[in-house]
Structure 1
Amino acid sequence: MPKKKGQKKNIPRDFTINDSANAPKPVARVKKSTTEVTWDQIADDDLDIVEEINEDGTKNFVYKKKRNNSKCEDNIDDRPGNVYPEIIWYWISQFIKPDDIGNFAGINRATYFITRCESFWRGIYRRYCEKHPKLPVKLQIDTFRAYGLRQRVIRALYHTHDVFIKKVAQQAAQDSKPHDLVKRRCVSVWYCKGAAHWSIYFKLKKMQATESVQSHDFFEELGRIDANPEENTQVLQVNCQHFYEVPPLMGMTLSSVSVVLSQGFRHHRLHLGFNTGSHNVSKDILPECTVVLDKVVNIFVFDWWHPKYPHFDNNLPINVVDEESLPVLKKDFFATRDADL
């Protein structure tokens, strides 16, 4: 029946199945509102069925206007709460443990900016790292240098802080996962001869969706405490009984990893597939270059903060890209030998 102007819709106190069947909207989620209107004032799409509880405990269902969330959302700054001065958070930051820094930085903007200050990381270093007997000499921080301070303190904590030391020990007890390195770009490859085996290192960097080269002022760059050239980079260390030559792989993307038992079932054989460009990384595309390392004794994967990650130097920023950091190969790799003629 058409609605008559000025006529109000009376909703019975006892809610029946017929009311649900003929309701303009399905009764799925009850929403609260404060404005009660009549049928002739709003359209059907603006109605919602709301459950109300009377003083005697009985329930009543009424049609009410929907709440406009876009207009009624409270501003974050207008919400009730206490706003403390930044100096309070600064004093609290002096009692934050290294494993709670992430939670402290997520409280508000003030705590986040405190964790980006040079004084904060020098305080962490002074409380947990300075004069520690297990701190390596290369991680001892001088007084005047700020570049890369954050990453040096984090690396030092993995030598001195008990929580981080236990984390490294737990990872050492687990098997390394070289398969997680797929789709990373090879930055450099180098070798190291040990007492009983050869170690081959592959430095692989995670490819970002959008990589942009930002130019900073030199003096501004010197003050970056969050500078970390090794961020998003991992090193794959493969220990073999014999030496294996590896072709130039810089700039190529690791597309496949396979670990199988070698002949004799005493060691493993590692297959690494590489392709040019991330768009060629797929299960259906064969690798353009395959590296096979036989008689593998063990395999390790190290993050930049790991104590065994091969940090060669911690120099100040220079105008070179990371692919040129250390492209180490055999000196005579490209030389033609008489035996090959």
Structure 2
Amino acid sequence: MPRKGNRKRLKYRADDLSSQSVTVADYANSDPAVVKSGRVKKAVANAIQKEVKALCGLEASCVPTEDGETVLSETGRLCESSDEGFENINEFSSSKKKKTKRHKEQIAVERTGDNYPIDIWLVLASYIRPEDITKFALICKNAWIVTCTAAFWIRLYKRHYRMNVYLPVRLLPEFMDRLRCLRACVIRSLYHMYEPFCSRVARNPPIPESTPNTLANAKCLLFWYRKVTGAKSEATWEFNFKFQKQPPKKKDYLSRLQPPLEYKDVHFNPDHDCCLLQVSTLNFSCIPVVMGMTLSYFTINVSTDMRHHRVRLVFQDTPVRNGKKPRGDQGVPIVLDPVHSVNLLDWWHPKYPFSAMA
């Protein structure tokens, strides 16, 4: 038989606890020290807490608790002022988001990464394929500086050099010790020696579909023609137009970077953004002087004999604005008919003519 004092301690008030969640066994088997303190078991308190939250319409994850326990008087106060509870929850969640964002920004500032010396990047560059140079340069600033050095391009040239491949005089090994235009010369030599680049040139059609769009508003830098004798003693006239293409509006990240001053000669390229339009005709045509003018119109159609092509070019003094078409009576028109072949060569193409003094 329990003592009279203990029996008095085992009583509880119906206003504080729910009869559905609390049983007599919770008090009969409990520790007298816990009963004397007047606190409820953790399991019982959690059950009451869930029931109170359900009645108040609050989610269990939104209400802050202290060590997983909630005092019954505080939960009752939450039920009486539910609107104030929602406001407190919103303020708590917003402040928590701000703290989390501030913490992430602080971590991003602290984690700047490891800075490896340029010598390590120069060693890694010896194993990079020519088609992956752009990806390698985008890793970090030191990797990009390595791609600007003369040692990088000389090693790339020696790695892919083959003696059984014909090369122009400027691209021979004894002339590759010049720093001026070294990068451009190595890129040109790769289109003679490196098989993936050679096959890429062979797959390109002689008349690309993007030729008119590529030469839009291009400036004519040079013009010349010559007489070419074929294998069957058939003479054709080859008209060459050297254009400087319009720079793109949205440049990539690497094109906006300037190489270091000590490697300026290595990256110098007088034919940058230049291309050559070769038009071979069966008959000679008198061409007016168009050097310094802008190409505003360019079409390739079928000739009148239905066996060849017909090329029409229109040059103007000023470039045409985007979205506007030039008038037919404006500019200097050039018509070549019949046309045997049309080729558009970039500055790195093996057939592109360049100076041996570059």
Aligned position for 2:220: 186
The answer to which of 252-261 and 167-176 deviates more is 167-176
Query: Hey, what's the Cα distance between the residues in 1 that align with 2:210 and 2:346?
Result: 12
User: What is aligned with 2:58?
Assistant: 12
Q: How does 1:1-341 map to 2 (within 5 A)?
A: 12-13=58-59, 63-65=93-95, 66-67=97-98, 73-74=105-106, 78-79=110-111, 81-129=113-161, 131-141=163-173, 142=175, 144-172=177-205, 175=208, 177-179=210-212, 180-195=214-229, 196-208=235-247, 224-279=265-320, 282-286=324-328, 287-311=330-354, 313-315=355-357
Q: Report the CA distance between 1:91 and its aligned residue.
A: 1.1
Q: Could you tell me how far 1:314 is from its partner in structure 2? A: 3.9
- Which structure 2 segments of 5+ residues have no match? 1-55, 62-83, 230-234, 250-260
CA distances 1:128-158 after superposition (whole Å, capped 9, x unpaired): 1263533333311425410000000000000
Scaled by the length of structure 2, the TM-score of the pair is: 0.64
Matched to 1:154, the amino acid is I
Cα distance between partner residues in 1 of 2:220 and 2:116: 48
Q: Which runs of 4+ in 1 moved over 4 A?
A: 37-42, 68-72, 74-77, 220-223
The alpha-carbon deviation at position 74 of structure 1 amounts to 5.0
CA distance, structure 1, for counterparts of residue 94 and residue 108 of structure 2? 27
Question: C-alpha root-mean-square deviation of aligned residues, in Å?
Answer: 3.2
SS class of match (1:246): coil
Q: Which runs of 5+ in 1 are unaligned?
A: 1-9, 16-36, 49-61, 211-219, 317-341
TM-score (normalised: structure 1): 0.67
CA–CA separation in structure 2 for the residues paired with 1:183 and 1:70: 50
In the superposition, relative to structure 1, how do residues 221 and 187 fare at CA in structure 2: closer, same or farther (>3 Å)? farther
Asked if structure 2 preserves the Cα contact closer than 8 Å seen for 1:260 and 1:268, the reply is yes
Classify the secondary structure of the residue corresponding to 2:280.
Answer: strand
Cα deviation for residue 175 of structure 1 reads 3.7
Shift of 1:167: 0.7
Q: Matched residue pairs, number?
A: 259
Identity %: 31
Structure 2 CA distance for partners of 1:266 and 1:155, relative to 1, 3 Å: same
Report the equivalent of 1:323.
none
Select the structure that is richer in strand: 1
SS in structure 2 of the partner of residue 225 of structure 1:
helix
* Structure 1 counterpart of 2:357, one-letter code: N
Larger Rg: 2
Classify the secondary structure of the residue corresponding to 1:73.
helix
